[in-house]
Amino acid sequence: MARPLSEEKRAAILRAATELVATVGTSAATSQIAKRAGIADGTLFTYFPTKDDLLNQLYLSIKSALAEAIMTDYPSRAGVFERTRHCWDRLVNWGAEHPTQHKAMRQLSVSDRISRNTRDAVNLAFQDINTMIRDNLSRDAADDESAAFVGALITAMSDVTLDCIAAHPEKIDLYRESGFQVFWNGVRP
């Protein structure tokens, strides 16, 4: 009878993968990840059968944590400005508080190793936000490509904002506000 898998080992693997993907990208070797996690190379594959499985689970884990941070107390009945502001502030605050996860997420977001199924699962976690973008912020509410463009703008603007915050953490309030104003002025309905 096989031993049950340890949640602590799984978490250690994901932490190690986060750190390495953030610093060296998706080319991080599984042997490096296992070593940093404090486990034998083969043990990693007990938890994640392939490197792609690991990367997909890592992406899903990071994006789920971000979705939880954004969706906590999400003002679903508020106006579009208040909902957008809530999402922006939570996104920037999360990225500033979790810079390693944010860097790993950026690497994984552009990786072709992340499957369509994983991306679809992530989109479900952001369904309320995606609906708000599609219905209220995109220029053509019937056009999913327009909504995807606005979503990409949010990502790009928040990435720039977080880069500035990383360089000057004492100016977090200024950069969070300035970034939002530039974004909002560009997309407001």
DSSP H helical segments within 25-143, as ranges? 30-37, 41-47, 51-71, 80-97, 99-109, 116-125, 127-132
Task: For residue 143, name the pLDDT band (cuts at 50, 70, 90).
Answer: low
| DSSP one-letter code for 138 | S
Distance CA 55, CA 27 (A): 11
As a whole number, mean pLDDT of residues 152-176 equals 96
Q: Is 105's pLDDT higher than 60?
A: yes
Flag whether pLDDT at 126 surpasses 90.
no
Residue 176 resides in a domain:
yes
Average pLDDT across the chain, whole number = 91
Q: Which helix (H) or strand (E) holds 180?
A: helix 172-187
Q: For residues 90, 94, 95 and 100, what is the CA-based torsion angle, rounded to 10 degrees?
A: -160
Q: How confident is the model at residue 47 (pLDDT cuts 50, 70, 90)?
A: very high
pLDDT for 67 beyond 60: yes
Q: What is the mean pLDDT of residues 75-100?
A: 94
Q: Looking at residue 11, which CATH number applies to its domain? A: 1.10.357.10
1 inside domain? no
Please count the structural domains in the chain.
Answer: 1
| Mean pLDDT in residue range 40-59 | 96
Task: Measure the CA–CA gap between 119 and 20, rounded to whole angstroms.
Answer: 21
Confidence of residue 142 (pLDDT cuts 50, 70, 90): low
In-domain check, residue 62 = yes
pLDDT for residue 3: 64
Measure the CA angle with vertex 184, ends 188 and 154; round to 5°.
110
More reliable by pLDDT, 15 or 1: 15
| Cβ contact 181:175 at 8 Å | no
Under 8 Å CB-to-CB from 27, ≥6 apart: which residues? none
What range does the domain containing 140 cover? 7-187
Please give the Cα distance from 136 to 66 (Å, whole number): 22
* Pick from 10-24, 56-70, 136-150: least confident: 136-150
DSSP 16-45: HHHHHHHHHGGG--HHHHHHHHTS-HHHHH
Out of 35-44, 68-77, 121-130, which region has the weakest mean confidence (pLDDT)?
Answer: 121-130
Specify if 2 maps to a domain: no
**Residue with more model confidence, 85 or 150:** 85
Task: Give this prediction's pTM.
Answer: 0.90
